[in-house]
Chains A and B, each alone.
Chain A
Amino acid sequence: MGEGRTIRFKPVLAGKAKGKALVLREPISFQGEIDEEGKIVVSGNPYVGETVAGKILIYPEAKGSSGGCMMLRLLAKRGKKPAAIVNTRNLDPNLVEGAILAGIPMLCYPQADPYEMIATGDLVEVDGEAGTLTKIG
């Protein structure tokens, strides 16, 4: 773990996860913008057609309808949940509820800009207890 490859966050939900990063620069909703298979379906999103399943999902904050909580629960049941959720701007209670039910580690409020260090496809690791996001490859 080299210097500058780890960013500290506020720990939100405990748990460890490793996976490929999916970095979105805009808020996204788990209801209507991501389908029941975990695929991004909102038109205009640069990652439309990509899946969130198994990814370390990094984006500013949740938005939209509160049904998103139940969508996370369903994605977990189907094995299509993101491996971890990292919000950079704001923490939405509805999303946290979904992550508790789905057992997804979560981080928020970074101490450095993750968008400068991490790009979609990078291999990263999240520790929800320690509050760290680490780039491994």
Chain B
Amino acid sequence: MKLTEQESRLLDGEEGEIKAIAMSYLVKLGRAFDGQEMVDITYAHMSSGSALREGEIDYLEELADKGAKVVVPTSSEVIPLDLLHPEAISAPPDIVEEHMRLQVVQRRMGIISTYTCVPFTQGFVPPAGSYIASMETAAIIYFNSVLGAKTNRCGYFVLYAALVGKYPKIGYLLDENRKGTHLVSVEAELKNPTDYGAVGYYVGSIVGSGVPVFQGIHQPRQEDLMQLGAALATSGTVAMYHIPGITPGSRTVEEAFKGNRSEGTVRVTPREMKTALGSLTIARSPQVDFVFLGCPQYTVEQVRRVADLLEGKKISQSTTLWVGTNRMAFAMAERMGYEEMIRKAGGILVCDTCPMLSFLRLDARGKRGKPGPAFRTMLTDSPKQARYAHTTIGCDTIVDSVEKCVAAAVKGEWEG
């Protein structure tokens, strides 16, 4: 790997121990992927560090004590609780305390405590063509496909990238890996984000780590593409897709493939969509005790929609409703009165967190002497959440549209 003079200086420790470690990890990563050079990044979205995983917050404090500071704008990922309203969701006090520490150390390091999986809804909108480093598969695929910024499927190393402002030029930072691999023909009317999730969940399972090129998707909304991407990256490792004419990577199908041959056409009809959602509907009874909306975190418009659907209604006594969003949308929802509408109906508007990563996880409960699942059956509008909640929370799952989810929360039962 060819390093610039500045990069060699960083690696040799001339700008301090922290930057030298960060560079050495990034160079190892680059070499593993035959990277030829490093690039400057303009933005980073990093893992927050979770109290549920031993030593992560301690590690950040160690780094901060040694003077570690990020050198590019840096947002941070979802945490295991709503740190602004922990009592609303009965978060365990020890987790609250640890994350108060996290907030302090992030501030010291220059990291913004967004606690979100969708930073692009909160002002972090890197320009098309720019190099960035992002973790969170639902964000990665959106940055690459919808915004046209270039990120790899990063993990913890975003931290090191943010500390030096560099990343090896590998994977999805290289244009040859951003070309289409599979043509996907959508032969169904997609009516809501969950329909897009169904398409994504089916296509991801077929194309694996490929780059699907969609035909037959018309005028998708931001929320539709958030759900499409999250699902593609759940059943597969998809980090990039094209909707020619819509996403910035291509104007036509030919341009999306850029000389690649399609590895086969994937047809998606209502049948495949039904099968995809059906495979996530693993429930012994239609009674639902937990309805979760907001994976990926809802935009303020989606929060408004739920408030609207709940107007004049009450959530069933036997059901808990969480509507997941981020701090910025939460503040807006408070101002617009949506938070109050949801609260008065018996639901909870939640920020910062998401069930599959929260203290509801079986492992977190087990450690606190509460073994077994907190809920029996989760109903959600997100294939991603259902897929992971089934194993991490240990509950039955059902996936359906937001309208059906709200109706079920009111009745305490899913109508199918």
Contact residues of A with B, CB < 8 Å? 12-13, 27, 31-33, 35-36, 41-43, 61-71, 73-74, 77-78, 89-98, 100-101, 106
Please give the distance in Å from A94's CB to the nearest CB on chain B: 4
With an 8 A cutoff between CB atoms, is B137 at the interface? yes
Within 8 A of A (CB), among B222-276: 233-237
Please give the distance in Å from B387's CB to the nearest CB on chain A: 8
Contacting pair B153 A92 (CB below 8 A):
yes
Contacting pair B388 A32 (CB below 8 A):
yes
Please give the distance in Å from A32's CB to the nearest CB on chain B: 4
Contacts of A64 in B (CB 8 A): 137, 233-234, 237, 388
Please give the distance in Å from B264's CB to the nearest CB on chain A: 17
Contacts of A62 in B (CB 8 A): 237
Contacting pair B32 A91 (CB below 8 A):
yes
Contacting pair B33 A74 (CB below 8 A):
no
Give B62-97 as 1s and 0s: 1 = Cβ < 8 Å from A's Cβ atoms. Answer: 000000000000000000000000000000000000
Q: Which of A77, A97, A106 contacts B155 (CB 8 A)?
A: A97
Q: Which of B28, B155, B233, B392 contacts A98 (CB 8 A)?
A: B155
Contacting pair B33 A66 (CB below 8 A):
no
Contacts of A33 in B (CB 8 A): 391
Complex: A73 Cα to B392 Cα, angstroms:
18
With an 8 A cutoff between CB atoms, is B372 at the interface? no
Q: Which of the segments B47-55, B190-198, B312-320 contacts the partner chain?
A: B47-55
Contacts of A43 in B (CB 8 A): 390-391
Q: A36-B363, A66-B155, A74-B54 are in contact. Are A96 and B33 (CB under 8 A)?
A: yes
Q: Which of B137, B156, B170, B363 contacts A70 (CB 8 A)?
A: B156
Q: What would be 6 A-B contacts, judged by CB atoms less than 8 Å apart? A: A27-B208, A32-B387, A66-B135, A67-B155, A69-B156, A89-B208
Instruction: Output the nearest chain B residue to A62 by Cβ-Cβ distance.
Output: B237
